[in-house]
Amino acid sequence: MRRIVSLTVLAVVLLAAFLVAPALLVGNGLATLSDNAPLARAFATEFTVFWNAPRSGVTPGLVELVDLWRRWHALKIAISLLFAVTTVGLSAALWGRFLAPGRSRAGRVGTGSAAVAATVSVLGGLVAIAANIQATAAPLSALLPLLPADPPAGDLRLAMSQIHDGLVNADSAFAGRPALAVLIDSQRTYLTALAVTATVVAIGCAVGTGCAARRLPRGVGIAGAVITAAVVVAAVAAWVSAADPVGSLLAIFSLE
């Protein structure tokens, strides 16, 4: 029982760290505990400079923001990995207690409910790892959702309009901009990273479900199969999206 309590406390501490540590350790005053508005404003400014730069590559101002966002998500990967390992241990301990002979019906119900919650937490940790891996692999693409969907008239709106034109019209003067090639390559990396991690998670879910079905109640196996199917569908969708990075960019740069 002491092991279960210790792992539960550690899981709660790691969950709190996931929420607050990035802002405190790497936020640099731009990504805060309350919101990312300062980061969004800085990114909008630097993104406009990047788009209008005559040379290829990311401009120095944007490099700083991209590096900040990479560190932010890399820290979240580390915390999520520790959380997943902790909840795996907690799940194993709880399911072992659930299967132990001589327990009352009420005790089994309570332990079983806690074991299910811990198992779901494992999946949550894996999803967090997958999401943050793609953001660490391509932080520029991870920053794009911070751009306003309908910016006011000005340099940013003009840049986003020109990017849209370059994406949909191969004959456009903006289609050959070096910055557009950087955006497309970043988006391809971003989506491919998601597809790879989703595939790994799907394989892990399938293996875990197969092992669980041999010892745990049938309902757990059925739930695992449903979750595995959902992750497989998500992985397939991610691979389809990775094959068309332009399509996903258009969803960001289609002004309302």
Q: Where does the pLDDT of residue 58 fall: very low under 50, low under 70, confident under 90, or very high at 90 and above?
A: confident
Q: Is residue 70 within 8 Å of 136, Cβ to Cβ? A: yes
**Chain centroid to CA 226:** 21
Residue 76 has pLDDT above 90, yes or no: yes
Residue 201 has pLDDT above 80, yes or no: yes
C-alpha–C-alpha distance, residues 254 and 197, integer Å: 28
| Domain total of the chain | 1
pLDDT per position as a tens digit, 79-132: 999 999 999 999 888 888 887 776 666 666 778 788 888 888 988 898 899 889
- Residue 14's pLDDT is what? 96
C-alpha–C-alpha distance, residues 140 and 58, integer Å: 9
pTM (two decimals): 0.84
% of residues, the chain, pLDDT over 90: 48
Domain membership of residue 215 as a residue range: 2-252
C-alpha–C-alpha distance, residues 100 and 115, integer Å: 13
* Residue in the structure block whose two tokens are 């332009």: 246
